[in-house]
């Protein structure tokens, strides 16, 4: 099993690159099937989702747009409970189907904030696509439409997910 040290913590490989790429292909196929013919705007949540968003978007076969926002809620290995907007909303999403691309959903606090923003901006429909989901930590009632992997409530890094920026 592959091991990596990031700052003062050691991590073991949990999901292989092949498993990740295979699951992304399956998610893209489902999105292509479900959203063909819709006016779609993908929103990647930086920094963590940038690799996932790129790999997913390359496999989208219908005309769509992609943009990014940057929100921060983590300090070290835990959620701070506060969500800071670092790069804002610059796209007109009125009447569009918006697909939020997230690296990981744990408590759902950030997703709740995002859904509120998209509602204010008059998105026609909102779909959520996450690479990783921690059902044990999830405290919201927001449905998650596309899930790559359900994982235990452990801190994970890699494939864009960081530890204190590393």
pLDDT tens-digit series, residues 38-72:
999 999 998 889 999 999 999 999 999 999 988 66
List active site positions. Answer: 106
pLDDT band of residue 77 (cuts 50, 70, 90) is very low
- As a three-state string, the secondary structure of the chain is CCEEEECCEEEECCCCHHHHHHHHHHHHHHHHHHHCCCCEEEEEEECCCHHHHHHHHCCCCCCEEEEEEEEEEEECCEEEEEEEEEECCCCCCECCEEEEEEEEECCCHHHHHHHHHHHHCCECEEEEEEEEECCCCCCCCCCCCEEEEECCCCCCCECCECCCCC
Cα gap 71→84, rounded to integer Å? 5
What global pTM score does this model have? 0.88
Averaged pLDDT for residues 16-39: 97
Task: Give the pLDDT band of residue 163 (cuts 50, 70, 90).
Answer: confident
pLDDT digits (tens, 9 = 90+) for 90-126: 788 899 999 999 999 999 988 998 999 899 999 999 9
């Amino acid at each position: 099993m592959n091991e990596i040290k990031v700052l003062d913590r050691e991590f073991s490989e949990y999901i292989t690159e092949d498993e990740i790429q295979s699951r992304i292909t399956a998610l893209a196929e489902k999105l292509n099937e479900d959203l063909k013919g819709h006016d779609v705007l993908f929103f990647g949540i930086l920094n963590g989702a940038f690799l996932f968003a790129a790999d997913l978007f390359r496999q989208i076969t219908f005309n769509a747009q992609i943009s990014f926002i940057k929100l921060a809620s983590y300090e070290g290995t835990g959620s701070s409970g506060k969500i800071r907007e670092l790069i804002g909303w610059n796209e007109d999403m009125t009447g569009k189907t918006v697909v939020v691309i997230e690296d990981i959903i744990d408590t759902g606090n950030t997703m709740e904030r995002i859904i509120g923003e998209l509602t204010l901006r008059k998105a026609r429909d909102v779909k959520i696509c996450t690479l990783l989901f921690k059902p044990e930590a999830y405290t919201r009632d927001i449905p998650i439409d596309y899930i790559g992997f359900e994982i235990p409530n452990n801190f994970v890094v890699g494939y864009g997910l960081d530890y204190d920026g590393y």
